[in-house]
Chain A
Amino acid sequence: MSELLSTDVLAVLSVGDYIFVGIGYTLRVYKKSTNNFISKLDVCYPDKIHGIVKGPGNYLAVFGGKQIGIVEVKSSNKTVLTTLYNAVHRFNDWVIAASWCSSNNEPSKLAILFAHNCLYVYDWLKNEAKEFQCEEKCILYGGSVTSDKADNFVVFAGTVFQEIFIWAVRNFNIGEEVPILHRLRGHNGVIFSVTFDPITSLICSTSDDRTIRLWSVGINSSDNGIQKWKNANISLMTTIFGHTARVWRAAIRKDFVISIGEDSLVCIWTKRGTLINKIEAHHGAPIWSIDVPEDGNTIITGGGDGAVHVWPLRANTNFVTKIIPLESSNDVPKHIGLLNSTSMVIITQTGKMLTQNKESGLKEVSLDTTKYASYIVMQISPDRKRVSLASLNGYLTLYEDNSETRCLQRVLEQKIMDSKVLSMHWLNEDSLLVCGLEGCMKTVKIVQGSALVISNHLLPQSRERWTTTAVVHENLLICGDRAGSIHLFRIGDVGIDNLLTDQTNSCHIHPFQSLLKIHGRLGVHSCKIIEDKLLTTGRDGTLRFYKLQKIDGQKTISPLQIDKMPMDWVSITLKTCTDLYVLGFKEVDFVLYSTAHQRVLLRIRCGGGHRSWDYVLNDGNFYFTYIRDKQIHVAKCEPNFLATLAVENGFHTKEVYCIQPIPTSIGHNILISGGEDRILRVTHINGCGSDSNNNQKFTSMALLSGHISSIKTLSLINLQNTAECTRNLIFSGGGRAQLKVWLISLTFEKNAVHVGNLTCVELASHMLRGTDQQQRKSLQQESHQCHYMDPETRYMSINAYRIPRKPNFILLLLGCSDGFLRIFSYDIETRNISTRTAIPYYNRCILMTHLFNYEENLIALTMATDGIVNFWCLNDVVDDIVEDLPDKDKLVSKIPILPFAKLGLHQCGINSYDLKMLKESLFILATGGDDNLLCLVVFEIKSENGVLSLHKIRKWNSASSHSTQVTGLILNESGSLFSVGIDQKVLTFNYRYDDIKLIVSLVHDTITSVADVQGMTMCYANDVDSTLLCTYGKGFELIRRTR
């Protein structure tokens, strides 16, 4: 039984306050106002739902493949019940579109358009059909059918041959071919959708040629029925380019055309083709389905990442910008800051200080121009009540916003630095860090109208030696500098808040911890403390996390994960109660990115990051002010512009190649997955097994980027698995011969899983031939050669093995596409990856590898595209690692290694396997091949005088169980074998070996809705009588098999 599924969402429909979604063969219902799941119903098993059409009364037609099911929807105030009316209706042809007859006397009739350009008028109560075949017999990729009250049906058919056919029927004699009324030519590719909107009288079509075309339909008002279409004057009106890939569908709603495509974009246009908004909707996955409810406020999309989203139709266009003029036309603004949503402070080129608010407009504030005329540094305090200014000759001036008079009052002016102040940062409501020349830094506390220097520090030497950001935490001062480094200084023993006098003696002049150039050469931009983590951003386009931890009584930081942001210049992070926003600049745009939704919520064309700007988030309104072209702009975004909650969460955007469950002692299902989209994901499956009627959901806990090509394989070494914590080393590998090592740990609070308790750190990264930069360098040195002769290999399979004799060392076995079996070692302490040996394997791409212990021997299995299983003994390699000679060159083993045994099992590639020990020295191996063959072998391994040998005892195989390649296998202890293939069949066999015979029998089969199945793994079933299988490929599915 399918318990959880995430795959392509091909059908979405909104009816009233409900959203109906087709995922796999299941129809799911959600409440629109809350996005909450309500109920589900299996409709089209085993086919995928491709469309949902609302009918009269409470009926829905749900179709997929060659089937249509009629679903009755009964809603009460609390729940929605869906039931399948009779059985599902099966046809011989692929259903392209369906429409309910709109005439009142035929409520049980459907018009169904099939892929061979024919139409059925189908009575689903009587199971009777009238068939109409169009004169042009061809395959349709898309189309639609409309009906009117007089039972006239008009077909809009999109063909492979770039044409749109319009044909119409009414009680035409069956058997006769229906003529085409109009052929619309103009598209340059396959037509994926054609719809007619009667309100605007427009036909809208989308195509492989990346365009949306709007066709005007001129109808003679005196014509009726089919005549109307016969005499219609149809012409191409507008061709719209905006998508960067194929356009799957488009909908016309009132004045808007909304299109979706393979490029993951939702584009909103006017009927004249003016682009209103582009939403990067599904993280790069194609968007397959769309519905625009009649209220015209929202858009619902379903994507290739398995997600379903609701978008505001007019969001993001909702921000208003205004320009605030200065009175003097020859003065221009230089610095701006916001005191609150309606009032700002401005410093002009000529050294004037102004305030601007609603009540009193523009007002000048007195400012000592002798100090501030030519140079000024301005900062607003975190509570936005104080403005600090610093000058060329080291003065600090402080203004306070008087809430009664709404005026800025000068409360302090004091020389604080002997030199020019280069930068200044507020540390809290009444402390500042001031940075002068030659790295001179002072922390300053405002006490009763005077500035008290608390501590002195020295910023380490760099070319542009000043701080760019600073934060305090307990007795730590954490600074980021222009050179991209992070420095930690000690301020006393108790932190800045409790210091009242100059405590320089108990403070460190020099940093006690520095992370040099961590944000690249363009500098750090912000530091923020959230709970026990430090977050920094910089102009290297990243958001970095660090853990704050006490070592020998002193807090220090250690790096955690690095998130690449969709911007080059990452300015600051902004924590709200539900989200963490990241603000920054991408080229000329200001960008607001939500880490919770993993998407850009707002873009404002401000000209780029090199300008004075500020923001305020107030009651859900976001205010952004900036200077552009010597003018002050203020943008205000309406509430709810950020509401883009997912109805259904997304998974990988492309094929999933590998999934590994993280071991937990209390049966949580935490999965790590990798695939074509180069992202390593940590996913939590909530509530599986507890109640099968429950809606099992999954949440993404972390997305780790860093792989430059697809992730093909994962291997896991558990370091700790207790009720409080699980800590694991993850080895990920794939294209471009890239290997990464991650530490993923999760602590449990009262057995519960919280995203905040997960930490992910990239420990090491390795490329066989070095990074691209190193490669280019070495190529330049050997200038006579213009190509690399050696191929760049893909790591197809990784197995990690912790060496018992030397537990700090992990042996890594890598099956490579260039035919080599490579062995690396990883040192847990030094995080060093060293190459040990490379064993050639007849130029066959290795697909699968496995490591296991037999007595004192380490045995490796390799399976390649030649269908042979090879057995290798790796004892010498292990000895090599254990002895670990200091000279690096010596480490690479020169011992020729040959397999000690071979089993030729398949005609070509082996795509899946599992191995179990039956009893001492006796093993059972299951393999699945590209030749559709499923194979089980019982063998024995013997060791005589240190020489290993293998004896094949029994073999069973089946060429007919699967009709396609077998890609996933699991052997379990209780004598079951599970198999899955590209044919999406999930089979359960019982196997038994009784010393004479190997008996295998098929006991169950079902279908997984995951297409292009790449493998299968087992999750915690939390129930002794059942097995929870996880198939993955195009998405993933959890299937429970109960004995």
Chain B
Amino acid sequence: MGKTSKDKRDIYYRRAKEEGWRARSAFKLLQIDSEFHIFEGVTKAVDLCAAPGSWSQVLSRKLNKDGNQTARIVAVDLQAMAPLDGVVQIQGDITKVSTAEEIIKHFRNEHADLVVCDGAPDVTGLHDMDIYIQSQLLLAALNITTHILKPHGIFVAKIFRGKDISLLYSQLKIFFKDVYCTKPRSSRNSSIEAFVVCKNYSPPEGYQPHMLNPLLTHEHCDFNQLTGINRYVVPFVVCGDLSQPDSDACYSLEYEGKEYKYHEPNQSPISPPYEEAITLLEKGKLQLKKPGTSLTVFNEPESAISAFKEKCTISSSPEEEPSVTVSISDNKALKEIDDESK
């Protein structure tokens, strides 16, 4: 498989690179806007779970037309991300009241017109658990939204469609007059991903925003009540017309008569959790895929780097792959050794 195969497989991936978006998900927000006009009259917008920043990019380009910095855009994420023109970044936790306060401060103590959230959790592959955690992420986003969104404001967030989705719709319906479920054409057909577009924010009378999980503060939820006719049904709208490319189709590299040029991805992946494992293996020339291969780091505080070097042995017996035993004081020391070996 060549490096162009992903370009052929996914037209939005390719176009995102060509048009300078940090991720293909930018098209999802653009298509949601084309259907729901969520950017109309918006001067203050918040992007929750913003990294790598493609939705912030969309907000920046759409709200600040002709280069005017008229709109204020705040991007919140736990991770740092590359700076963006016209976007204020807050590195913070959306479950903290202090983060909400900081956002309001950027809007000169005014509330936002629009809150968007494209955040997704670390998926495990267990669908029930992934759907549950995504719903909790959405509720956390809803929670902070109740602190920062002005009445009649708009909230857009990613959801995973699963068997308990009606429960989630009911929750959103308490806070918004109009709730829609939508799927942009740039979102793949096979994906369980969809988006809720919640318009006309109107919290229940006397509602005090808090950071408790709204699901947990309610009475026991009976599964049976949520099936059949009692279930709250949310209209499902597909956004983006058929002139938009198909995210499931394979396109020729010469699509639309334009000459093809390969583009590198705009944003390389953020350091993955297994980075250390990968680095260690490259240095130790170990392949964990092989049977019998392993590596152990003893995190004994007293060992020094010199001691590590002495102790670092590659053992090999007839029946076992070579295994490296490493003793070091901590991970920092290990990195220093890596540098030395360069």
A interface residues (Cβ-Cβ under 8 A, vs B)? 8, 10, 46-48, 50, 65, 90-94, 115-116, 137-139, 141, 160-162, 186-190, 192, 207-211, 235-244, 246, 262, 267, 269, 272-275, 278, 280, 286, 288, 304, 319, 321, 589, 603-605, 628, 633, 787-794, 817-819, 843-845, 847, 864-867, 907-909, 911, 930-933, 959-960, 963-965, 982-985, 1005, 1007, 1011-1012, 1034
- Determine whether the beta carbon of B262 is less than 8 Å from that of A243: no
CB pair B251 A791 closer than 8 Å: yes
Neighbouring B residues of A242 by C-beta, 8 Å: 288, 293-295
- Report yes or no: B128 in contact with A47, Cβ–Cβ below 8 A: yes
B221, B237, B299: most-surrounded residue (chain A CB, <10 A): B299
Q: Identify the B interface with A (CB < 8 A).
A: 2, 4-5, 8-9, 78, 95, 121-122, 124-129, 132-133, 136-137, 161-163, 165-166, 181, 183, 185, 189, 192, 211, 213, 215-216, 218, 220-223, 227, 231, 233, 235-238, 242, 245-246, 248-254, 260, 262, 273-277, 280-281, 288-289, 291-301, 318-321, 323, 325, 331
* Chain B residues with CB under 8 A of A985: 163
B271 to chain A, nearest CB (A): 8
A628: chain B residues within 8 A (beta carbon): 318
Q: Across chains A and B, which 6 residue pairs bring their CB atoms closest together, nearest first?
A: A189-B273, A273-B296, A791-B250, A1011-B127, A907-B238, A845-B248
Contact of A960 with B296 at beta-carbon distance under 8 Å, contacts A909-B248, A1034-B127 already known: no
Task: List the B residue with the shortest CB-CB distance to A790.
Answer: B252
Q: From B169, which residue of chain A is reached at the shortest CB distance? A: A963
Partner of B294, one of A267, A817, A847, A908: A267
Contact at B250–A794, with CB atoms within 8 Å? Answer: yes
Residue pair A865, B248 in contact (C-beta under 8 Å):
yes
A209/B276 in contact, CB under 8 A? yes
Tell whether, in the assembled complex, residue A964 and residue B162 are in contact, meaning their CB atoms are under 8 Å apart.
Answer: yes
15 other A-B residue contacts (CB within 8 Å) besides A237-B299, A818-B251, A960-B233 = A94-B129, A161-B78, A186-B331, A236-B299, A239-B299, A274-B325, A304-B125, A605-B318, A787-B2, A789-B254, A817-B248, A930-B183, A1005-B227, A1007-B163, A1011-B126
| Contact between chains at A273 and B298 (CB < 8 Å) | yes
Contacts of B162 in A (CB 8 A): 964, 982-984
Q: What is the CA–CA distance of A416 and B221 in the complex, to the nearest angstrom?
A: 89
Task: Determine the chain A residues whose CB is within 8 A of the CB of B249 once the complex forms.
Answer: 817-819, 843-845, 865
Answer whether A240 and B124 are a contact pair too, CB < 8 Å, given A139-B136, A907-B237, A963-B166.
no
Contacts of B295 in A (CB 8 A): 240-242
With the chains together, A94 CA to B164 CA distance in Å?
13
CA of A965 to CA of B191 in the docked complex: distance in angstroms? 10
- List 17 A-B pairs, Cβ < 8 Å: A10-B126, A46-B223, A93-B215, A238-B298, A239-B297, A262-B125, A269-B294, A275-B292, A275-B320, A280-B291, A794-B250, A818-B250, A930-B189, A933-B236, A964-B165, A984-B162, A1012-B127
Complex CA gap A418/B4 in Å reads 61
User: B285 → chain A, closest Cβ, in Å?
Assistant: 14
Q: How far is the CA of A148 from the CA of B287 in the complex (A)?
A: 43
Chain B's interface: helix, strand, loop or mixed, by majority? loop
Query: Contact partner of A911 among B5, B133, B189, B318, CB < 8 A?
Result: B189
> Is A983 touching B161 in the complex (CB atoms < 8 A)?
yes
Q: Name which residue of chain B comes closest to A965, CB basis.
A: B161
Residues in A neighbouring B331, C-beta threshold 8 A: 186
Cβ of B280 to closest chain A Cβ, rounded Å: 6
Given contact pairs A275-B323, A865-B249, A207 touches B273 in the complex (Cβ within 8 A): yes
Q: From known contacts A273-B296, A791-B251, A865-B249, infer whether A208 and B122 are also in contact, taking CB-CB under 8 Å.
A: yes
Instruction: Give the residues in chain A near B223, CB-CB below 8 Å.
Output: 46, 90
Q: B183 touches which one: A93, A161, A931 (CB < 8 A)?
A: A931
> Are B294 and A603 interface neighbours, CB within 8 A?
no
Identity of the chain A residue whose Cβ is nearest the Cβ of B248 in the assembled complex:
A845
* Nearest B-chain residue to A189, judged by Cβ: B273
In this complex, the member of B166, B211, B295 whose beta carbon has the largest number of chain A beta carbons within 10 angstroms is B295
Closest chain B residue, CB of each to CB of A635: B319
Q: How far is the CA of A152 from the CA of B133 in the complex (A)?
A: 29
A983 and B227 contacting across the interface, CB-CB below 8 Å: no
Distance of A657 from chain B, by nearest CB (Å): 10
Distance to closest chain B CB from A983 (angstroms)? 4
Q: Which residues of B contact A246 (CB under 8 A)?
A: 274
Contacts of B252 in A (CB 8 A): 789-791, 818
Please give, as numbers and ranges, the residues of chain B lying within 8 Å of A791 by CB-CB distance.
Answer: 8-9, 250-253
- Give the docked Cα–Cα distance between A267 and B294 (Å): 10
Smallest CB separation, A818 vs chain B (Å): 4
CA distance A93 to B212 in the complex (A): 13
User: Which B residues are CB-close (under 8 A) to A787?
Assistant: 2, 4, 253, 260, 262
Closest to B217 in A: A92
- A48 and B128: CB pair below 8 A? yes
Taking the closest CB of chain B, its distance from the CB of A106, in whole angstroms, is 24
Task: Enumerate chain A residues within 8 angstroms of B2, measured Cβ to Cβ.
Answer: 787-788
Instruction: Name the residue among B5, B161, B163, B165 with the largest chain A CB count within 10 angstroms.
Output: B163
**Which residues of chain A have C-beta atoms less than 8 A from B275's C-beta?**
188
Provide the residues of chain B in CB contact with A633, threshold 8 Å: 318
